[in-house]
């Protein structure tokens, strides 16, 4: 037995040693340390230390991971319909995806920002941007539900969003694509320089409810607004945006928007802007956008049309918007924890410029300007510059901070993370990523108080990292331990959709507030059924409202007759359970939309338009008890004009059911 | 020799598992309310009181005269949270019919079962016997202490008047 075992072990070891070099890319051995597994292992039944919220890019969702394990905990649908739970399909949630262009079931979700208090994440809300049809969303972190979506007028593509100020006074939005703005937008594309404009929007966040309202917009020249971050501490009153395409190209931007040696970081004094708003200095412009809110008590979303916005023009109203030259086509725009240093990452630059807030203030005071750009003063580069990180790598994109005086910048082209010292701008360490890293995240890494233990790199390309899955491969995250002087890569995990920016925070800031079920007594959905006694089927013209309850493991009613072709049937399903982790599902044969998942104490509505006469099963889709397979029923559909009586119930005597 | 070793290993594993499950609840036996979690540490399994059950209620004072206000409240709670599974007759639906329940169980047992459902199902002999009949764990419907008392009064009314 002993020799047999030894033989097996030897074969395994030899196999491993043979396999390792052949399937791992170069540099791998130097990147991974021997205790990596120990550092990321979270034993079964144990919780992770951090929540990691990761944008889903083209899937329009947010995925939630535990760190350091990289385990996927949840997918939160935000801008995209989600047939898995009925988001965007149920009558209650359909209005969430309404826009001025009608129902838009998809978007491109790039950046996330956690709400903050005193410059630190407070675990209340998560904000998300939509890059395609410009919107911002608020997710309640007690329920992990999207509660609010605000559309942005005068905008086309909301990229530099939804970053927030230190006390979540505002979140911002900015146009990635400048477009014609105003009454007549049917204009030649070639008139870009003359007619196209950009805007950045400041969205007020109610400190009690989290409700969003569009406070004001700033009208800007027609360039592309890319990313942003708020100031903090001494720079609290300011917001910084990266801008590219100052060439104002409208075609072949790959070449034509890369001509100038420098583009801009735009600095906005939002406190000064607030003063202008108070003094009624802005112009109220007629626009059209919608504001969608999910009411917690009725569990129902409403979509409201809005028709005006306050616009501030920095050419008319002075001293609150400035441009700072930044080489070349800056992407990331990141402010260090002290609020003094603003890092602009020029995608095409061979260096990273770091600006000083103190110097910017002095330059403004001393009017050290290099003329203006479209009427907005341009601060002299040297007057704003703290210094440059020389030869950091190729293609710097984004920077996060560890709170110990270090910055970490992603290098897209050279596929690496570079750690450098803010004080002396010296590169301290570099580690490869696999491959083509985009955003980075350190828990709290864009706030006043980062938790500088881990860094996560979100990669665009993963060829050869995972088992092949056809032409399309997973994108990925890589976890680095940054607690020591040198970074150590300790884990790879595939992500859902395409990860862009992400946020992370200590788990207990959220877990302690997590809602376990909705109190049935407080359910104010107009179609709630409070107890089986109240279950009923009501005909209203050709609309049939089924007030149906679910509890382990039956529906009331589960036999329904008297529906006719031409009817629209609304199943208002109330889950009567009052216990954690007991959702029920509801599906009906031939439904052209989706299923719905109903949380304990909640009411959700699925609309069903039968297309043929017959008997159709309904059933619970979420395994709920030992008798889950018995949780089913039937609905009978008769021909149009038939006189089948309306009968409904559960466990009805056969004699009470129509015989024909 | 090999078999013995394997068995020993398996035994060791099983012992370790059962040891774990008594201290931290797995998914099938999760006690989801904070109250029941507290109760579970308080009630030692060695001297289990199968008459009164496990939970915070050790003595429930009953008045001979029924309280109409509690009965009314108990009725509305019954219709919202209980009637899906329990009839007022002796007939079993999903759970047992309520007729005679106040003769079968002490008031303390009833109130403990209504508020500390998960722990009771896990350790109470009568609750476990009923689970074998019904095959559906009674859901924790998160009744407050006051709710449970009202339900008890409603059950007494149901038993008295039939």
The answer to whether the CB atoms of A531 and B141 lie below 8 A apart is no
Q: What is the C-alpha to C-alpha distance for residues A299 and A591, in angstroms, rounded to an integer?
A: 22
CB contact under 8 A, B136 and A626: yes
A328 and A362 fall within a common domain: yes
Q: Average the pLDDT over A454-460 and give the result.
A: 97
**Which residues make beta-bridge pairs with A633?**
A618
- For residue A13, pLDDT over 70 is answered with no
User: B136 and A551 in contact by Cβ < 8 A?
Assistant: no
Q: Do A551 and B84 touch (CB under 8 A)?
A: yes
Residues 18-37 on B with a CB inside 8 Å of A are 24, 30, 32
> Which chain B residue shows the shortest CA-CA distance from A578?
B141
The answer to whether position A85 is within a domain reads yes
Instruction: State the pLDDT confidence band at A252, using cuts at 50, 70 and 90.
Output: very high
Cα(A247)–Cα(A462) distance, integer angstroms: 34
* Secondary structure (3-state) at A462: coil
B2 CB near a chain A CB, below 8 Å? yes
Last residue of a domain, one of A489, A511, A533: A511
Least confident range of A555-559, B91-95, B98-102: B91-95
Q: A248 by DSSP, 3-state: which?
A: coil
Half-sphere exposure of A23 (CA within 13 A, CB side): 11
Beta carbons of B2 and A1 less than 8 Å apart: yes
Contact B30 A581 (CB under 8 A): yes
Report helix, strand or coil for A520. Answer: helix
Average pLDDT of span A148-161: 97
A380 & A529 share domain: no
Chain B residues inside the 8 Å CB shell of A554 = 84, 94
d(CA A175, CA A448): 27
Task: Look at residue A543 and tell me if it is in a domain.
Answer: yes
Q: Give residue-wise pLDDT tens across range A511-521.
A: 999 999 999 99
Q: Say whether residue B137 is in contact with chain A using an 8 A CB cutoff.
A: yes
- Cα dihedral A540, A544, A547, A550, rounded to 10, equals 180
What residue numbers bound the domain in which A587 lies?
A: 525-656
Cβ atoms within 10 A of the Cβ of A626, count?
14
pLDDT confidence of residue A31: 58
CATH of the domain at A325: 2.130.10.10
Least confident among A291-295, A615-619, A625-629: A625-629
Q: Which residues of B touch A580 (CB under 8 A)?
A: 30, 32
Residue of B80, B89, B95, B146 for testing the chain A interface, max A β-carbons within 10 Å? B80
Q: What is the pLDDT of residue A28?
A: 53
Q: Domain check: are A492 and A601 in the same one?
A: no
Band of pLDDT at residue A78, cut at 50, 70 and 90: very high
Instruction: Decide if pLDDT at A320 tops 50.
Output: yes
Residues A373 and A400 in one domain: yes
- A474 with A561, same domain: the answer is no
**CA-based nearest residue to A301, from A542, A72, A103:** A103
Q: What is the pLDDT of residue A3?
A: 47
DSSP letters spanning A315-368:
TTS-SSEEEEEEESSEEEEEE-TTSSEEEEEETT-SEEEEEEHHHHHHHHHTT-
Mean pLDDT of all residues in A456-463: 95
What total of structural domains would you count in chain A?
2
Residue A401's beta-bridge partner residues?
A407
Task: Report which of residues B162 and A504 the model is more confident about.
Answer: A504
User: pTM value?
Assistant: 0.89
pLDDT value at A530 more than 80: yes
Judged against a pLDDT cut of 60, whether residue B8 lies above it is answered with no
Apex A128 CA angle, A125 and A129, nearest 5 = 155
Retrieve residue A396's tokens. Answer: 């710097």
ipTM of this predicted complex?
A: 0.77
Q: Order the strands of the A262-269 sheet from edge to edge.
A: A224-230, A238-244, A262-269, A321-327, A376-379, A369-373
Residue A331 belongs to some domain of the structure: yes
Rounded Cα gap, residues A212 and A294, in angstroms = 12
B47: distance to nearest CA of chain A, Å? 29
pLDDT of residue B136: 87
Contact between chains at B32 and A549 (C-beta distance less than 8 A): no
Mean pLDDT of chain A: 94
Sign of the Cα pseudo-torsion (A40, A43, A49, A55, in order) = positive
Interface test with B, best of A552, A574, A650 (most B CBs within 10 A): A552
- Cβ–Cβ gap A549/B84 under 8 Å: yes
Question: Residue range A235-260: average pLDDT?
Answer: 95
Q: Do B32 and A581 touch (CB under 8 A)?
A: yes
| DSSP classification of residue A82 | B
Contact A553 B85 (CB under 8 A): no
Residue-level pLDDT at B160: 86
**Closest partner CB to B32 (pick from A551, A579, A651):** A579
**What DSSP string runs through B116-135?**
SHHHHHHH-HHHHHHHHHH-
Provide the pLDDT for residue A349. 87
Contact A521 B2 (CB under 8 A): no
Residues of A with CB under 8 A from a CB of B: 1, 45, 516-517, 519-521, 530-534, 549, 551-554, 556, 576-582, 625-627, 651
Task: Answer whether A239's CB lies under 8 Å from A271's CB.
Answer: no
Quick one: pLDDT band at residue A23, thresholds 50, 70, 90? very low
Structural domain contains residue A109: yes
Question: What pLDDT does B47 receive?
Answer: 82
Q: Does domain B48-160 fall into CATH 3.40.640.10? A: no
Residue A601, pLDDT > 90, answer: yes
Domain ranges of chain B: 48-160
Between residues A402 and B35, the one the model is more confident about: A402
Q: Are residues A474 and A562 in the same domain?
A: no
- Mean pLDDT score, A575-591: 96
- Which of A449, A398, A407 has its CA nearest to residue A425? A407
pLDDT for A114: 98
- Of all residues in chain B, the one with the smallest CA distance to A517 is B142
Look up residue A644 and give its two tokens: 């089948």
- Considering the domain architecture, whether residues A243 and A94 belong to the same structural domain is answered as yes
Type and span of the H or E element at A58: none
Residue scoring higher pLDDT (B3 or A206): A206
Extract long-range pairs of A142-147: CB within 8 Å, 24+ residues apart.
Answer: A142/A513, A142/A514, A142/A515, A143/A515, A144/A64, A144/A74, A144/A76, A145/A76, A145/A294, A146/A76, A146/A77, A146/A78, A146/A87, A146/A96, A146/A294, A147/A210, A147/A293, A147/A294, A147/A296
- On whether residue A457 sits in a domain, the answer given is yes
For range A98-122, the mean pLDDT: 98
Question: Rounded mean pLDDT of chain B?
Answer: 80
Question: Mean per-residue pLDDT for A184-202?
Answer: 97
| A531 and A425 both lie in a single domain | no
Residue A591 placed within a domain: yes
Q: What is the CATH number of the domain that holds A548?
A: 2.60.40.420
Two tokens, residue A126: 């998560």
Q: Is residue A27 part of a domain?
A: no
A494 and A629 together in one domain: no
pLDDT range class, residue B20, cuts 50, 70, 90: very low
- From A464, A479, A511, the end of a domain falls on A511
| Whether residues A115 and A191 fall in one domain | yes
A533 vs B30, B83, B140: nearest CB: B83
pLDDT over 70 at A17, yes or no: no
> From the centroid of its chain, how far is CA A262?
30
- Which residues from B are below 8 Å from A651, CB to CB? 93
- A626: closest CA of chain B, how far (Å): 6
The structure tokens listed for B87 are 């009839």
Helix axes B145-160, B68-77, angle to 10 degrees: 100
Label residue B15 by pLDDT band (50, 70, 90): very low
Judge if A421 and A496 occupy the same domain: yes
Chain A CB within 8 Å of residue B80 CB: yes
Query: Is B81 near chain A, with CB under 8 Å?
Result: yes
Phi, psi of B118 (to 5 degrees): -65, -45
Local confidence band at A11 (pLDDT 50, 70, 90 cut-offs): very low
Of A463, A485, A511, which one is at a domain's C-terminal end? A511
Check whether residue A206 and residue A230 sit in a common domain: yes
The three-class DSSP label of residue B10 is helix
- Give the C-alpha distances (Å, rounded to integers) separating B9 from A2, A9, A17, A545: 17, 20, 30, 59
Q: Go through A339-367 and write b for each residue having 16 or more CB atoms within 10 A of its CB, e for each that does not.
A: bbbbbbbbbbbebbbbbbbebbeebbeee
Give the tens place of pLDDT for each residue, B31-64.
Answer: 444 444 444 444 445 689 999 999 999 999 999 9
CB-CB under 8 Å, B136 with A532: no
């Amino acid at each position: 037995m002993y020799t047999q075992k030894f033989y097996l072990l030897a074969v395994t070891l030899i196999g491993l040693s043979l396999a390792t070099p052949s399937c791992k890319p170069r540099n791998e051995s130097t990147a991974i340390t021997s205790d990596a597994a120990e550092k990321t292992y979270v034993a079964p039944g144990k919780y992770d230390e951090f929540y990691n919220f990761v944008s889903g890019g083209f899937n329009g969702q947010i995925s939630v991971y535990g760190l350091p394990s990289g385990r996927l905990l949840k997918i939160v649908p935000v801008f995209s319909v989600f047939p898995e739970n009925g988001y965007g399909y149920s009558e209650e949630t359909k209005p969430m995806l309404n826009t001025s262009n009608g129902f838009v079931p998809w978007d491109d979700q790039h950046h996330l920002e956690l709400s903050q208090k005193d410059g630190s994440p407070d675990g209340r809300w998560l904000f998300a941007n939509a890059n395609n049809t410009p919107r911002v969303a608020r997710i309640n972190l007690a329920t992990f539900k999207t509660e609010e979506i605000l559309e942005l007028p005068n905008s086309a593509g909301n990229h530099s969003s939804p970053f927030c100020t230190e006390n979540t006074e505002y979140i911002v939005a900015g146009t990635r694509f400048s477009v014609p703005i105003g009454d007549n937008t049917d204009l030649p594309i070639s008139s870009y320089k003359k007619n196209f404009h950009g805007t950045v929007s400041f969205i007020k966040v109610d400190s009690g409810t989290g409700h969003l309202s569009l406070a004001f917009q700033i009208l800007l020249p027609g360039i592309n607004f890319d990313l942003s971050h708020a100031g903090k501490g001494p720079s609290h009153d300011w917001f910084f945006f990266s801008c590219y395409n100052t060439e104002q190209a409208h075609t072949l931007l790959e070449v034509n928007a890369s001509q100038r040696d420098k583009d801009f970081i735009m600095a906005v004094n939002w406190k000064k802007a607030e003063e202008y708003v108070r003094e009624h200095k802005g112009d109220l412009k007629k626009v059209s956008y919608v504001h969608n809110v999910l009411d917690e008590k009725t569990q129902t979303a409403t979509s409201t049309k809005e028709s005006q916005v306050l616009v501030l023009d920095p050419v008319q109203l002075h001293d609150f918007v400035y441009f700072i030259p930044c080489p070349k086509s800056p992407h990331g725009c990141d402010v260090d924890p002290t609020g003094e240093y603003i890092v602009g990452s020029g995608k095409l630059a061979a260096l990273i410029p770091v600006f000083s807030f103190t110097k910017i203030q002095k330059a403004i005071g001393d009017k050290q300007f290099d003329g203006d750009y479209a009427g907005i003063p341009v601060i002299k580069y040297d007057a704003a510059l703290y210094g440059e990180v020389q030869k950091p790598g190729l293609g710097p994109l984004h920077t996060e901070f560890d709170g110990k005086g270090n910055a970490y910048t992603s290098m897209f082209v050279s596929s690496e993370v570079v750690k450098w010292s803010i004080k002396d701008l010296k590169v301290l360490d570099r580690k490869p990523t696999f491959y083509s890293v985009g955003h980075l995240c350190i828990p709290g890494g864009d706030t006043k108080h980062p938790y500088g233990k881990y860094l996560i790199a979100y990669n665009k390309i993963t060829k050869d990292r995972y088992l092949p899955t056809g032409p399309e491969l997973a994108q990925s995250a890589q976890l680095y331990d940054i607690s020591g002087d040198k970074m150590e890569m300790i884990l790879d995990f595939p992500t859902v959709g395409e990860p862009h920016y992400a946020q992370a925070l200590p788990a207990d800031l959220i877990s302690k507030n997590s809602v376990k079920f909705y109190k049935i007594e407080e359910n104010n959905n107009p179609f709630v059924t409070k107890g089986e006694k109240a279950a009923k089927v009501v005909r209203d013209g050709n609309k049939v409202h089924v007030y149906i309850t679910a509890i382990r493991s039956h529906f009331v009613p589960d036999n329904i007759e008297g529906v006719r072709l031409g009817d629209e049937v609304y199943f208002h399903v109330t889950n009567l359970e009052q216990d954690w982790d007991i959702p029920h599902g509801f599906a009906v044969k031939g439904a052209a939309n989706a299923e719905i998942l109903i949380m304990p104490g909640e009411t959700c509505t699925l609309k069903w338009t039968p297309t043929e006469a017959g008997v159709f099963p309904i059933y619970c889709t979420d395994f709920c008890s030992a008798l889950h397979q018995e949780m089913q029923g039937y609905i009978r559909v008769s021909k149009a004009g038939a006189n089948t009586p309306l009968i409904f119930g559960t466990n009805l005597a056969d004699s009470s059911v129509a015989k024909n | 020799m090999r078999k013995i070793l394997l068995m020993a290993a398996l035994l060791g594993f099983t012992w370790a598992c059962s040891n774990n499950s008594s201290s931290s609840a797995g998914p099938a036996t999760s006690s989801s309310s904070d109250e029941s979690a507290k109760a579970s540490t308080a009630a030692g399994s060695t001297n289990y009181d199968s008459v009164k059950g496990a939970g915070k209620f050790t003595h429930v004072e009953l008045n001979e005269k029924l309280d109409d206000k509690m009965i009314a409240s108990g009725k509305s709670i019954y219709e919202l949270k209980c009637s899906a599974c329990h009839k007022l007759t002796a007939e079993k639906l999903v759970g047992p019919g309520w007729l005679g329940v106040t003769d079968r169980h002490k008031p303390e047992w009833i109130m403990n079962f209504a508020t500390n459902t998960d722990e009771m199902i896990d350790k109470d002999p009568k609750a476990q016997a009923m689970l074998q009949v019904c095959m559906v764990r009674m859901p924790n419907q998160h009744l407050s202490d006051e709710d449970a008392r009202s339900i008890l009064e409603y059950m007494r009314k149901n038993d008295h008047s039939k």
